[in-house]
Amino acid sequence: MSSPRPQLLAIEQLQHSFGGVRAVDNVSFALHVGEVAALIGPNGAGKSTLFNLIDGQLVPQAGRVLFDGHSLALCSTAERARRGIGRTFQVAQTFATMTALQNVQLALVAAEGGAGWVRDRLWKLHIEAGHSLLGQVGLQKLAQSSAATLAYGDVKRLELALALAARPRLLLMDEPTAGMTPDERFALMHLIVEVARQNTMTVLFTEHSMDVVFGFARRILVLSRGRLIADDAPDAVRADAQVQRLYLGEAT
Ligand SMILES: Nc1ncnc2c1ncn2[C@@H]1O[C@H](COP(=O)(O)OP(=O)(O)OP(=O)(O)O)[C@@H](O)[C@H]1O
Ligand SMILES: [Mg+2]
């Protein structure tokens, strides 16, 4: 019998409001090592805000985020990245004027830290590692293309490669397949699940396509107006009357 995986992330009674809007309202849950879970909910439910609280872009007004059992309250975004929290964004963030390969090289150099001449040396060393990462996300043929010229689906793949450069243990992906065709969505999610399996990486992703959510997540967390209204296996979430009423009835 396999032993249960250890807990990696614990969210405890997290709260954050913008003016009178409770974007994240008393949310608690934990993620275990290697889990691939989806965070779903209507527009404005608080999904991106929750990610911002986990990766340190926002400071919670109450509650705690624990990673590996340690509170992240005093950790900057950079320190959280060093500890193993990676992130991709709802609107993909890459350096448009650089090639795909240069983008990945930069992410690899940044992940290793160091300064001055160390960075110059790392830059050259990382050509091979950069090609390897681009290969992992299916962009090897576009290594020398400027990021500005990539199709949106390829930009999302590049953003995934940038996040993987830091070898995250937890990857938060905010709408990783937005703007992609159905085929591209499934290919990217297959890739993410496979990378997670190979690296024992935990993934929490937001997504509006229910095909993707129910096809790839083993566990689904549902937010509505900042509150976590369900956290269960896909079949149980699909059958949940409150989730049906507040979200699945209207989701595309
Ligand atoms: N910087 C901000 N300033 C003011 N209000 C904000 C800010 N960011 C988010 N909000 C509000 O907080 C609530 C949650 O927003 P959030 O972006 O987290 O939702 P979401 O679930 O990611 O939505 P979507 O599916 O559209 O991406 C919304 O009411 C939103 O208008
Ligand atoms: Mg969002």
Domain at 9, CATH number: 3.40.50.300
Here the tokens at position 90 are 């709802």
pLDDT at 197: 93
Report the residue among 47, 223, 228, 229 best suited for mutation to probe ligand 1: largest number of ligand atoms under 8 A from its CB: 47
Q: Looking at the 3D structure of the chain, how many domains does it have?
A: 1
Q: Is residue 90 part of a domain?
A: no
Outline where the chain has alpha helix (H).
Answer: 47-55, 77-83, 100-112, 117-136, 152-165, 182-199, 210-216, 234-239, 241-243
- What number does the ligand 1 atom closest to the CA of 45 have? 21
CA 240 to centroid of ligand 1, rounded, Å: 25
- What number does the ligand 1 atom closest to the CA of 52 have? 18
How many C-beta neighbours within 10 Å does residue 135 have? 13
Q: Is residue 134 part of a domain?
A: no
Q: Is residue 55 part of a domain?
A: yes
Instruction: Output the CA–CA distances (angstroms, integers) from residue 144 to 140, 147, 196, in the order listed.
Output: 9, 9, 27
The ligand whose atoms approach the alpha carbon of 24 most closely is 1
Q: Is residue 44 part of a domain?
A: yes
CA 23 to centroid of ligand 1, rounded, Å: 6
Contact 103, 110 (CB under 8 A): no
Q: Is residue 149 part of a domain?
A: no
Q: Which domain holds residue 65?
A: 1-84+203-252
Per-residue pLDDT of the chain (252 residues; tens, 9 = 90+): 455 689 999 999 999 999 999 999 999 999 999 999 999 999 999 999 999 999 999 999 999 999 999 999 999 999 999 999 999 887 778 888 899 999 998 888 888 766 555 666 666 778 888 999 999 898 999 999 999 999 888 998 999 999 999 999 999 999 998 888 888 899 889 999 999 999 899 999 999 899 999 999 999 999 999 999 999 999 999 999 999 888 876 554
- Report if pTM > 0.85: yes
Q: Is 130 in the pocket of ligand 1 (CB under 6 A)?
A: no
Q: Whose CA is nearest to atom 3 of ligand 1?
A: 18
Q: How far apart are CA 191 and CA 216, in angstroms?
A: 11
Q: Is residue 143 part of a domain?
A: no
Q: How many helices (H) and strands (E) does the chain have?
A: 9, 10
The ligand whose atoms approach the alpha carbon of 41 most closely is 1
Q: What residues contact 147, with CB distance under 8 A and at least 6 apart?
A: 94, 95, 96, 97, 98, 99, 100, 103, 155, 158
Instruction: Output the CA–CA distances (angstroms, integers) from residue 25 to 17, 51, 112, 116, 172, in the order listed.
Output: 8, 14, 36, 44, 19
Report the residue among 22, 47, 49 best suited for mutation to probe ligand 1: largest number of ligand atoms under 8 A from its CB: 49
Q: Is residue 103 part of a domain?
A: no
The ligand whose atoms approach the alpha carbon of 18 most closely is 1
Q: Is residue 245 part of a domain?
A: yes
Neighbours of ion ligand 2 (CB under 5 A): 47-48, 90
Here the tokens at position 186 are 């499934």
Q: Whose CA is nearest to atom 25 of ligand 1?
A: 43
Q: Is 46 in the pocket of ligand 1 (CB under 6 A)?
A: yes
